[in-house]
Every structure is written in C-alpha cells, then in structure tokens.
C-alpha cells in the first residue's frame, strides 16, 4: 500500500475534547500543522504555547455558517493549503423519542449534521482548486445500528453517513477523498456533561432508562489514545477507504444487524414484489 510521507495541514473541528483533542495533538506531535477549532478558544489556547507556529487556534461554533466560512478562509490563508478536513464536533441528546422536544432535536441536528455540511461546503472550493484533499467525518458504529434512549443521536449519524457517502461519489473526480470514521465505545469525554444534552424525563420511561444506563456502564470501552495510528494510516495512504471502524466489536455487531435486516427483507420479498405492480 503506497504511503504519503509529506507533512500535512489539518482543519479540525471539536479540538477541545474527546477524539478531536487526541487527534489534534497527535497530528501536531508528528510534525503536521493544524488549524484547531473549538467553541471556546480558551479550551485550546494551550496548544499555541506547546506547538508554536505549527498550530492556529480559532474559536468556532459550527452552527454559525458565516463563522465557518471565515475560519476556513483564515486557516487556508495562514498555512496556504488544506490537506485534511476533520469534521469532529458533535454531541448526544439523551432521551427517548417521546421525551425529546423539538428545539433540542433541531439543536442536535444543527450541530451534528448541518455543522459538518457547512464545513464541507466551505472547504470544497479550496480543495477543488488544489486538486487534492481528504475529508474525514467522525461518525459512530451507531451510524449503522441503533440504541434506545439516544435514538436522535443515532439518527444524526445515519444522516451523517449518507451525506458523506454521497459526497465521496461527487468529489472523487476532483482528487478529493472522503473517509467516515466509525468509533465504537471509547473512554473519552463524550459521556461528560459538556458532550451530552438531556431531555426532560417522563416517569413511564424511568425503569427502562435505568436498565439501559446500567447495561451501557458495563460495556467495555476502548482506549482513545490507541486510535491515532489508525487515523494516520488512513490519511497517509494513497487510496483511503470510505469507512473505517475503530474498535474490535463494531464489525460483528453490524454484521449481525444486517443479517437480520436481510432476513426480514427476504421473508417479505413476495409482498414487496407484488407492490411493484404489473410490468409491461
């Protein structure tokens, strides 16, 4: 597998915590340059002292489309190139489908779906002009399967996956690659109060959610500090894949779920075929 060795210039959203923080620092430690962005500039200011001219820190709320455009332009003008664009900002809405209110759902989608789209639309003219670039999107294994209580988060990742898959087909001829990163359960700050939004609870779901959280707490979580090597293997290869699982359990879970879906479709295939109507 051919590898690219030249140091790269990254644009990363959500650099202040979780995978974004780990991957930002890992890229800088290996000598790459990073435009690191976060909602609060103070959360990433320490990067300037540690990495000097190799980092540009910018305050950015991805739900503000104009600020996204400005940040992308600032980063490009500062370093003169963009090689890797990592859409990492996002959070989870905790609540059943009935419990979550419309404002909370819209806010989640604005950050997890529309925010990444704003970044993509801002960087594409630059990447096309360059004739190269690699867009990475941090999704989840929940972009293929679902869990209760975080159904809206799962739905945001399903949309995220579809958008990036379509994007990959649309920009391939411009020399632009797209990879969807799909982590399983990891011990990051993703479960912290800053990364979670809680819907107002209904008593009828109290026992159900208690059981769910107990099971979730027993789930084995991976070490996020073990992930940079996998990310670098993707961005350094000439022909990166569309999707990359992070973690050991993802593939077996997704394989089982898709087997169940195919079985259901096959069981009902005669009914489905009848619904096609008469063919001429």
Q: Return the exposure string of 189-226: e unless at least 16 CB atoms fall within 10 Å of the residue's CB, then b.
A: ebbeeeeebebeeeeebeeebeebeeeeeeeeebebee
CA–CA separation, 261 vs 257, rounded Å? 6
User: Which of the residues are catalytic?
Assistant: 139, 153, 157
Please name which of 23, 11, 1, 4 lies closest in space to residue 231, comparing C-alpha atoms.
Answer: 23
**What tokens were used for 221?**
């979580």
């Amino acid at each position: 597998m051919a590898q690219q060795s030249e140091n790269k210039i990254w644009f990363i959203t959500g650099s202040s915590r979780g995978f974004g923080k780990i991957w930002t620092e890992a890229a800088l430690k290996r000598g790459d340059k990073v435009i690191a962005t976060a909602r609060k500039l103070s959360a990433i200011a320490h990067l300037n002292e540690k990495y000097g001219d190799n980092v540009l820190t910018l305050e950015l709320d991805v739900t503000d489309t104009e600020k996204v455009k400005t940040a992308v332009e600032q980063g490009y003008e500062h370093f003169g190139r963009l090689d890797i664009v990592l859409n990492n900002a996002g959070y989870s809405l905790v609540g059943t489908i009935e419990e979550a209110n419309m404002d909370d759902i819209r806010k989640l989608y604005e950050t997890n779906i529309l925010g990444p789209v704003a970044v993509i639309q801002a960087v594409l003219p630059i990447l096309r002009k360059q004739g190269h670039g690699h867009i990475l999107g941090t999704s989840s294994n929940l972009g293929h399967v679902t869990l209760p209580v975080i159904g809206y988060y799962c739905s945001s990742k399903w949309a995220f996956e579809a958008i990036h898959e379509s994007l990959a087909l649309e920009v391939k001829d411009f020399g632009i690659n797209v990879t969807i990163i799909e982590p399983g359960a990891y011990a990051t700050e993703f479960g912290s109060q800053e990364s979670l939004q809680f819907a107002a609870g209904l008593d009828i779901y109290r026992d159900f959610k208690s059981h769910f959280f107990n099971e979730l707490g027993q789930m084995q979580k991976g070490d996020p500090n073990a992930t940079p090597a996998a990310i670098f293997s993707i961005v350094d290869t000439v022909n990166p894949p569309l999707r990359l699982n992070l973690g050991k359990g993802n593939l077996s879970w997704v394989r089982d779920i898709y087997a169940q879906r195919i079985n259901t479709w096959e069981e009902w295939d005669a009914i489905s075929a009848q619904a096609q109507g008469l063919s001429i």
